Amino acid sequence: MKVLLVNGGPHKNGATDCALRAVSEALADEGVESEIFWLGNEPVAACIGCYACKKTGKCFKDDVVNKVAARLDEFDGFVFGSPVHYAATSGALSSFMDRLFMSAGEKMYMKPAAAVVSCRRGGASAAFDEINKYFTISSMPVVSSQYWNQIHGSNAQEAMQDLEGIQTMKTLGKNMAFLLKCIEAGKASGISLPEREPLVRTNFIR
């Protein structure tokens, strides 16, 4: 069992990373492997709505999105982390998730996921809600903790002092491990993934 933790912030060793490390440590304590993947500092292109991915199976722009998409089968669970930027996720994570979920969301079907946010002071729950919406449109069980998954601090040094935030992340890791083990046990006892019906797509004019 392996979990991918994506750091969508501009600082490789910043506050978001501090939160993800706490999740990763708790996963390790429960015997679950994990990998923290930093998106980096190069701007991540936004989705241009070309739907090329629907024809080719790949995003039009061959960058970090396709790199992660190609590896999705390696992972059983996901954590997407972001600093709060103007009471929202970072632009990089937002663009990354738009393109990853549009081009390869199917590969995460029924895999547990969680959102993690870091901020100095405000906007955490707005950013948290934003990330969770990708999971709830993709049939991904959302893993929760004892509080909304947020840590407070302008940088890693400050975030480490947010003891409640750290504990929230540790609990999240434990809860993720528990759910992954339940899913594995379920599969081993013959429970298969729900059968999927062809999508019925309507809009509000017909």
Question: Does residue number 123 form part of the binding site for ligand FMN (CB under 6 A)?
Answer: yes
Six-digit token string for 155: 């940088």
Identity of the residue, 105 or 153, whose beta carbon is nearer to ligand FMN in the bound complex = 153
Window contacting ligand FMN (CB under 6 A); options: 51-59, 85-93, 134-142, 165-173 = 85-93
SS3 of 117, please?
strand
Closest residue to ligand FMN: CB criterion: 14
User: Is residue 117 a contact partner of residue 124, using CB atoms and an 8 Å limit?
Assistant: yes
Side chain identity at 34, as an amino acid letter? S
Q: Does 28 bind ligand FMN (CB under 6 A)?
A: no
Q: Which of 42, 54, 55, 121 binds ligand FMN (CB under 6 A)?
A: 121
Nearer to ligand FMN, 19 or 108 (CB): 19
Closest approach, Cβ 16 to ligand FMN, in A, equals 3
Close Cβ partners of 190 (under 8 Å, ≥ 6 residues apart): none
Q: Does 92 bind ligand FMN (CB under 6 A)?
A: no
**Candidates 36-44, 77-85, 95-103, 183-191; binding stretch for ligand FMN (CB under 6 A):** 77-85
Using alpha carbons, list the distances in angstroms from residue 153 to 30, 157, 195.
27, 8, 43
Would you count residue 119 as binding ligand FMN (CB under 6 A)? yes
Does residue 201 bind ligand FMN (CB under 6 A)?
Answer: no
Angle, helices 15-29 vs 163-188, to 10°: value is 40
In order, the DSSP letters of 39-62 are --SSPPPPP----HHHHHSS-SS-
H helix intervals, the chain: 15-29, 52-56, 64-69, 91-104, 124-136, 156-159, 163-188
Out of 41, 122, 186, 191, the residue judged to bind ligand FMN by CB under 6 A: 122
Least Å from the CB of residue 135 to ligand FMN: 21
Minimum CB separation of residue 82 from ligand FMN in Å reads 8
Cα 137 from Cα 98, distance rounded (Å): 12
Binding site for ligand FMN (CB under 6 A): 9-11, 14-16, 83-87, 118-123, 153-155
